[in-house]
Amino acid sequence: MITIYYEALLLTSLFLTLLYILSWHKHFDVHITLIFTLVPITILGNLMMAWSGSREEAILAVKIAYIGGSFLVLMIALAIFNLCHIQLHRAVRMVMFFVGSLMYLSALTIDHTDWFYKSCDFATRDGAGALVNKVYGPLHTVFDALVLVFFAVSLAAMVYSYFRKKDVSKKIIVLLFIPEMLAVISFFGGRQITDKIELLPLAYVISQVVYLIIIRQVCLYDITDSGIDSLVQTGDKGFLSFDFRRHYLGCNETAAGIFPELLNVNVDTVIPSENPIAAKINEWLDAFAADERNNSFHYPHGDRIYLITVTYLFDGDRKRGYQFFVTDDTESQNYIALLNNFNGQLQEQVAEKTKHIVEMHDKLILGMATMVESRDNSTGGHIRRTSEGVRILTDEIKKDNVLQLSNEFIANLIKAAPMHDLGKIAVDDQVLRKPGRFEPWEFEKMKAHAKEGARIVHAILQGTDDEAFHQIAENVAHYHHERWDGSGYPDGLVGEQIPLEARIMAIADVYDALVSKRVYKDSMSFEKADSIIMEGMGKHFDPGLERYYVAARPRLEEYYRSQEETGKPQLKAELCNSAS
C-alpha cells in the first residue's frame, strides 16, 4: 500500500508537470519551472525508499529525496518574491542558492559522517523499505532551522504584499498561501500525524495543482507580456532586433513585409553595405547611440508611412542589443500634414493681422509723442532725432559686443526712444512753453514728467505680450534724466542702478538738446556740445559709454548736418507762407 501511495503521487506529479510543459510560456517564472522539475524528483526519492531492499539503497533514496527538501523550499520562496513583485538583489539570490546548496551537501554526508545523521537503521514495514531509529546530528538541526527561515521570509513577503502592495492580486497571494502552509504543516508535523508515510510529497503534488492555477491567472496580470503577445498576434506591429555589434538577430513577418531587404540577410551577420536598407538602419542606430532621446523616425514605404521606434533589447534586466518597433503611422502623418498646412495658413493670417495691429499701435504711440512735442517750445523733430541718435550709439556698442546687447534689446530701445518725453503731456503749458530759464518751482513741475511718463507708458503697454519692450520703454521714460553721480531725477539713482537703456537714452537726449535750435536758444556748435558731453562722462553720463560716444561722434555730426540742410528749405517755406 505504501509503494502504491508513492507511485500514485509520482504519476500524478508527472502528469501535472506535463500539463505545465504543454501550457509553458517563455515568460513563465523560472522558479516555478524548477518547482515542477524538482517535485517529481523528490517523490521519486520517496518511492525509491519504499522500493529499497537494503540500507545502502535506502540511503541513496533519502539523498535523492533531500534534493526537494533542500531546493524546493528555496524555489518556492523565490517564486513567491517574484509573484509578489518584490525585487531581490542578485547578490541576495546568490546567497540563498548557496545556502540551499550547503543544505543539500550536508545531506550527502549521511552514512559518511555523523554530522547529519548520527545513526539510522534499515527496516521494512508493510512491504516497504524505510530508515528507522534515526538519530539526527547538528547539521540536521541547522537544516530544519534554514527551512523554517525560508518559510518565514516567504510568509512575511505574502503578508506584506497582501496589505501594502496594490500591484499584486490578492487572489494570487491567497493561492500562494495554500501550498506554503501545507508544506510547513507536513514538514514539521507530518510525523505526528503518521509515521508510516511521508505527507510532504502529497503537499508538493497539491502545490503543483495550485501553481497551475496561479500561472494561468498570472498570465492575465502580466500586462507587459500579455501586451507584447497581443501586439505580435494582431499582425500590424513589426519587430526586428540587432545586438550591440549590429548583427541582425531576426524579425517577425510584419517587419519582413515592410523591409523585404532583410529576407536576404543571414541571421547573426552585419547587414551588407550594398543592401539598400543598411544605410537607413545604421542612420537610426547612430542617432539613438548618440542620444537615446533620438528614438523615433519615420520611414516612407510605398504609399504608407511607418513609425520606427528604437529601444534597447533586454534579456531580463540586461541590455543585449537594439530593438526596433515598427507601426503604421500613415493616417497620423496625413492628419498632421493637413493640420500643419492649416496651421501655416492660419499663422500667416495671424501674423499679418498682428503686424497690422503692431503698426497701428506704434503709430499711435508715435502720434502721442509728436502731439506732446508740439506743445513744447522746440523746433520739432526731437523724437525723430533722438531715435536716430540712439540707433547710431547702439551701432557702435554692438561692434565690440562687450555689453552683449541683443538685437531684440537694440530694436526695442530704438522703438522706445520716442516715448521718453510722454510725461510732458501732464506738464502745464505755462511751464512747458516758457521760453527762458525755469524758476525752481517750475523746474520741480517739469521734473515730474519723468515719473508721469513712466506711469503713462505702463498704462499704455499694460497687458502687451512683448514684456521686454514694455520694460525698456518704461525705464527710458522714467530714468532718462538720472545722472551717473546720483544728482539726477526723479529717484536720484547712482551708477549702474540706472538701467542701461536709460543711460544710452540720456546721451542721445542731451546731445540733441545741445546741437538743436530752440525758440529760447540757438544751436550749439558740435565742438562745444562735444566738450560738454565729454565733461559730463562719469558725472552726468555712464563713463563706460564714453568710447562708444567718441566712436559715434562723426556719424552724429554728419546726421545733424544733414538735418540742418533739409531744415533750411522747410524753414524758408514756412516764412513765405506766414508772410502771405
| pLDDT digit string, tens, across residues 348-379 | 777 676 666 556 666 666 666 666 665 555 54
Q: What are phi and psi of 11, to 5 degrees?
A: -65, -40
Which among 383, 379, 374, 243 has a CA at the least distance from the CA of 315?
243
Quickly list DSSP for 524-560. Answer: PPHHHHHHHHHHHBTTTB-GGGHHHHHHHHHHHHHHH
Encode pLDDT of 79-96 as tens digits. 889 888 888 888 998 998
Cβ proximity of 504 and 394 under 8 Å:
yes
Q: Which one of 186-190, 192-196, 373-377, 547-551 scores highest in mean pLDDT?
A: 547-551
Mean pLDDT of 94-115: 89
Q: Residue 66 and residue 69: Cα distance in Å, rounded?
A: 5
Q: Render pLDDT for 269-295 as a digit per residue (tens, 0 to 9).
A: 899 988 988 999 999 999 999 999 999
Helices (H), 52-199: 55-83, 90-107, 138-164, 170-193
pLDDT, mean of residues 432-442: 69
- Cell 518584490 belongs to which residue? 86
pLDDT at residue 91, rounded to an integer: 92
pLDDT, residue 385, reads 86
CATH 1.20.120 fits 2-226, yes or no: no
CATH number of 235-328: 3.30.450.20
Residue of 360 and 385 predicted with greater confidence: 385
> What is the Cβ-side half-sphere exposure of residue 279, based on CA atoms within 13 angstroms?
3
pLDDT number for residue 574: 40
User: ω into residue 490 within 30 of 0, thus cis?
Assistant: yes
44 or 421, greater pLDDT: 44
Comparing 141 with 421, the larger pLDDT belongs to 141
Per-residue pLDDT band for 10 (boundaries 50, 70, 90) equals very high
* CA separation for the pair 187, 178 (Å, rounded): 14
What is the rounded CA–CA span in Å between residue 131 and residue 31? 31
pLDDT at 384: 81
Residue 291: what pLDDT? 92
375 vs 42 pLDDT, higher one: 42
CATH architecture of 353-579: Orthogonal Bundle (1.10)
| CB contact burial 75-106 (16+ within 10 A = b; e otherwise) | bbbbbbbbbbeeeeeeeeeeebeeebeebbeb
Average pLDDT value over all residues in the chain: 82
Higher pLDDT, 362 or 423: 423
Spatial distance between the Cα atoms of 258 and 268, rounded to a whole number of angstroms: 20
Please, which residues have CB within 8 angstroms of residue 3's CB and are 6 or more apart in sequence? 47, 50, 51, 127, 128
Domain ranges of the chain: 2-226, 235-328, 353-579
Q: Which of 490, 516, 489, 478 is nearest to 377 (CA)?
A: 516
Which of helix, strand or coil describes residue 291? coil
Angle at 252 between CA 251 and CA 255, to 5 degrees: 80
**Amino acid 370: pLDDT:** 63
pLDDT at site 12: 95
d(CA 231, CA 235): 7
Q: Give the residue-averaged pLDDT of 442-465.
A: 80
